[in-house]
Structure 1
Amino acid sequence: MMIAFVRYLSAGLIALMVARASGRRIEVARDDRLGQVARTALVMGAMTALIAALGMVPMAKAVGGFLIAPIVSGLLGILVWREAPTLPRLVGSALSCLGAAILMRPEAGIELGSVFALVGGALLGTYLAATRGARSQTDALSTLAVQSLLGSAMLAPFALAGGLPLLTPALLVGVLLLGSLSAACHFLTVAAYQRADAAQLAPFLYFNLITAMAVGFLWFGETVTPLALLGLVAIALGGMATLVDPMRLRDLAIPRVRAA
């Protein structure tokens, strides 16, 4: 809770400084204030769950469980935005659910870290779907500042319940770096989802898995079991499968048939 709190507090303060330096105002549409609070709660829950998972299971496993977010976002697109439930989406969702089940390995005892990762992924998918619906409400910098500061306020009672950590120069530098990375990531994510559909952006989330496996192995000496790797691959393939557009495939196939 303390890590999540300082992450978003520092990110919010950085966003305010950027806005002040650039002469931009931090604004939230009056008719979107409740929505902003709801989206903030979702992203705070998602990131706090991921941070908890990272302390319990290998990095690749935590990030892999988190990658069910595009599936959740796609399913909510069907239920909420009335998008067509195409066969690729249904097959991809089933494949990712199978991968999540393999990753959790219920027969070997469910790891709490894997549960946190999957819950975080579900919350993030809901957040992405909600952000898509609010793409025209608030600019990305305002969203970053408001969600970071509001989120840190939501987390403060839990983070500060055990008292303040010992403030050292190393801690302050770490907080500054964490806040800067968090601000950049949050800003780019919001800006991307305000400019493109979730289906177009979903593949980029799977770069997280490659990075997590590399960093986990090189920095922390973590390894992934063959069965866990199978589950991660199934989740990724399921997410990629949901991107297949049957109409585009048909359009590509028709010229070939005519040529033949």
Structure 2
Amino acid sequence: MRIGVGILVTAMALTPLTDGFSKALGTDQTAFFICFSRYFVAGVIALVISVIFRRPIEIPRHDRLGQVFRTGLMMGAMTALIFALSVVPLAKAVGGFLIAPVVASLISVLLYKEKMDGFRFTGAIFSFAGAYVILRPEGSLEIGTLMALFGGFLLGAYLAATRRASACGDAFSTLVVQCILGSLLIAPLALWNGIPTVSLHNLFYIVALGAVSAICHFLTVAAYNRADSSVLAPFFYFNIVFAIPVGYFWFNELPTQTTLIGLVGIALGGVIAMLSTNAHVNPFTGILAIPWQFVKNFSLKT
């Protein structure tokens, strides 16, 4: 159990690096191109893994439209986050994005008739209060914060839709298909003005972005194969803890006291919501952008 917690905390420590690479790329590249690059590289890595381990890629015929819909939600969410990273401090963008688990829980209640209990209701209040605090720190709206929260809403919808489609197809296949399909969906916007010029420095960031994402996927799978999800889920919010030093040392960003209060509210709300015995959506998939099915069903030898 302790090993699983340690592995997940390590994954959460690395996850802000993917946001850092995206933010660094944002000075020269559009959010669409960064998102395209991230998922294209991730898809290539996943395909290589499938070839090495001879794992077939299965695409259920009856769920192809659903795959396109869920992939569209995922790409929209990540594009919004990457745009937010380019205009607001890293910790603030990541914190706003982490409202996704509560949104997913509320969607499950409203559309899928799951039970609304006291934990979910209280968690939603805390998270939305935290979002309001960081949204209007000086009484004015910030486009970057709005985009982070918008991305969180899209990701919440993606998590809820993925939960409903949990019986559709193999989870690893879903990961591969969504990465490749996602890069194809966003390619027209990413390459609208032709293939952008990419310096060697930025090329390193792109490759590192895909590589670190793959490592985070692996560590998260390893953690959830060694400990119960109910034990590990609250540690997902360590993401915020590690995002703050990454933003400070890499970009010389330090969150304001108001922003920190808002981040605590969002994280506390998520942890409270996860205490619900009826909560099925696992929030660690928010930043890593991989289905819960992948973690639940992908067999990892210890």
Same fold (TM over 0.5): yes
2:176 corresponds to:
145
1:118 has 2:149 as partner: yes
Q: Distance in 1 between matches of 2:124 and 2:64?
A: 32
Q: Which moved more, 1:7-16 or 1:99-108?
A: 99-108
Within 5 Å, give how 1:30-69 maps onto structure 2: 30-69=61-100
Q: Which residue of 2 aligns with 1:102?
A: 133
Describe the shift of the 1:207–1:3 C-alpha distance in structure 2 as closer, same or farther (beyond 3 A): same
Residue in structure 2 matched with residue 174 of structure 1 by the alignment: 205
- Which structure 1 residue ranges, 5 or more long, are not aligned? 248-260
Larger fraction in helix: 1
Q: How does 1:1-260 map to 2 (within 5 A)?
A: 1-105=32-136, 108-185=139-216, 202-245=233-276
* Distance (whole Å) between structure 2 residues aligned to residue 68 and residue 197 of structure 1: 23
Q: Deviations over 1:202-254 (max 9, x none)?
A: 5243121111112112222111111111111111111112123489xxxxxxx
1:28-80 Cα deviation digits (max 9, x unpaired): 11111111111100110111111111111111100110011111011122123
Flag the 1:199–1:72 CA change in 2: closer, same or farther, 3 A.
farther
**Deviation sequence 1:174-227 (CA, Å, 0-9, x none):** 32221222344467779999xx99977652431211111121122221111111
Residues 27 and 18 of structure 1, relative CA distance in 2, 3 Å threshold: same
> Percent identical across equivalent pairs?
52
Choose 1 or 2 for highest CA Rg. 1
Cα distance in 2 for partners of 1:112, 1:221 equals: 21
Q: In the alignment, is the contact (CA less than 8 A) between 1:141 and 1:187 conserved in 2?
A: no
Write the letter of the residue equivalent to 2:197.
L
Distance 1:153 1:24, change over 3 A: same
For 1:199 and 1:45, how far apart are their aligned partners in 2? 28
Give, in angstroms, the shift of residue 8 of structure 1: 0.9
Deviation at 1:165, TM superposition (A): 2.3
Distance in 1 of aligned mates of 2:184 and 2:223: 26
Name the Cα RMSD after superposition.
Answer: 2.7
Unpaired stretches in structure 2, ≥5 consecutive residues: 1-31, 279-302
105-114 vs 155-164, greater mean Cα deviation: 105-114
Measure the CA separation in 1 of the matches of 2:228 and 2:157. 14
Provide the TM-score with structure 1 as the length reference. Answer: 0.85
1:170 Cα deviation (Å)?
3.5
For 2:217 and 2:179, the matched residues in 1 are separated by: 9
Q: Is the 8 A contact 1:12 1:149 kept in 2?
A: yes
Amino acid at match of 1:82: K
In 2, are the aligned partners of 1:140 and 1:187 still within 8 Å (CA)?
no
Aligned-residue offset at 1:135: 2.1
